[in-house]
Amino acid sequence: MSQPSDKFTEDFAKAIEDWRRKHQLREDDPVILCLELFRIHQVHWDSIRRQEFPSFSDFRDSLTQLQQQMTAIQRHEADLLEQLQRYPKPSRFTAPTITGLLLTALFATATGVFIGKYLL
């Protein structure tokens, strides 16, 4: 964020002076002192806001760097996919058949029955 322009500060001071003359207030009137205190407060918080928030150019630079990194990642990803396609596909794993699963279940049941009958 840029510093407030001198014109803005001058315009504010002129508006305060015009308002003071219109209402015939002295320079040491409490209302004028409150306005000065408010201006000090405003300048203080404006400087804090400028410190905490990055400028739009910083934000744009960060986005540009992010875009460059994403482009590089996409390039590497494309190279990796191309290299993976060069290798032969792995052989297909044969899943157990239903017959094999049924025979295993039958054997496990028979074993359980024989162990229960002869051991107990």
Is there a domain that residue 98 lies in? no
Is there a domain that residue 81 lies in? yes
Please tell me the total count of domains within the chain.
1
Is there a domain that residue 70 lies in? yes
Predicted TM-score (pTM) of this structure: 0.36
- The angle formed by the CA atoms of residues 46, 48 and 52, to the nearest 5 degrees, is 120
Is there a domain that residue 99 lies in? no
Among residues 64, 16, 62, the alpha carbon closest in space to that of 37 is found at 16
Q: For 48-99, what is each residue's pLDDT tens digit?
A: 877 766 678 888 888 899 999 999 999 999 998 888 888 877 666 566 678 8
Where residue 32 falls among pLDDT bands split at 50, 70, 90?
Answer: confident
Is there a domain that residue 1 lies in? no
Is there a domain that residue 31 lies in? yes
Provide the domain limits for residue 12: 6-86
